[in-house]
Structure 1
Amino acid sequence: MDLIDKAIEFENRKMRFPTTSDRILASREAKSLILALNEIYKETKDATLMDIMKRLTAKKQKIEKRLKGKPLTAA
């Protein structure tokens, strides 16, 4: 399955995104991989697909947290 290989490659890729646009592209790529894996999961109910989706979601959340930045402190 080519899609699973892409997801594992994305997961093992280093999380070094120097620019905001790189982070946005990585977040979008993670989202598209998760949605594509979800469509396959709906048909097969394969537990390994669910594990891959969970790991990708965690990585995507870290990227999005970095995109949002630090919250401003109320003075």
Structure 2
Amino acid sequence: MSGPIRVIVHPPSPTGGRRVRVDGEILGLAHNLTDVAEFLRRAGLEIDAAEVAQSPWIEWKGGGPERWGVEG
């Protein structure tokens, strides 16, 4: 893969969870950091769930890694 990898975790959906994209491709709807790490693993990017929140190459839109659903 050439160039930097672009990972975007989108804002929480109205029903909970956050869409995850890598280089424009939707990987799925994550409900926690473990889900994000698993989607990235399946895409060939090895990262531990504990490192997902701190990774400089993951862009968090609509809130940081602590937001997963709609707050009441």
TM-score with structure 2 length normalisation? 0.30
Larger Cα-atom Rg: 1
Q: Comparing both structures, which one devotes a greater share of its residues to helix?
A: 1
